[in-house]
Amino acid sequence: MFPQKSSLITFVLPPADAKNIITVGNINKRNKPLWSVLDAVTADGRIKPELAVLAQEIPVIYGWSDSYNTADTPPILAGLLACLWEALPNKTAKELKSLLQSSASQGDNPDTKLGYGIPNFKKAYDTSK
């Protein structure tokens, strides 16, 4: 099903293993994973992280910044997701999560580095109509 890990024991810790949240990985401007604390499936076999967001050369108030941890990527995704939910107010959170996963760059072939990949909000919006 999913690639097996080496002899190292890895697991996803709470809250990242929760079923009803989206965990976010970070990528550089070449769409390659930066550093991530997640690189495993949950105990019940779900992919984590689920989506990936650009974390290099992020515009900030006083110039540009790089984020090499996963703390900055969830707010970026949350802001975009809030806009999508405003455009699709009749969708549930679960439906929006599914839309984003299926429309992401690796929607058909998720892995433990980028999950379902880079979300495509326009494709998710268009698919929902």
pLDDT score, position 17: 83
Q: Is 94 among the domain residues?
A: yes
- Residue span of the structural domain in which 88 resides: 24-128
The CA distance from 5 to 108, in Å, is 21
pLDDT of residue 67: 58
Structural domain includes residue 78: yes
Determine, yes or no, domain membership for 58.
Answer: yes
Per-residue pLDDT at 9: 45
Distance of alpha carbon 16 from alpha carbon 34, whole angstroms: 18
Residue 91: inside a domain, yes or no? Answer: yes
Tell me how crowded residue 112 is: count the other CB atoms within 10 A of its CB: 20
Structural domain count of the chain: 1
Return the SS3 of 65: strand
Q: What is the pLDDT of residue 1?
A: 45
Q: Is residue 8 part of a domain?
A: no
> Which CATH number do you get for residue 65?
3.40.50.200
Would 119 be classed as within a structural domain? yes
Asked whether residue 71 is domain-assigned, the answer is yes
Per residue of the chain (129 residues), give pLDDT as tens. 444 444 444 667 778 888 888 988 888 888 888 765 566 788 888 888 899 988 777 666 666 666 555 667 788 899 999 999 999 999 999 999 999 999 999 999 999 889 999 999 999 999 998
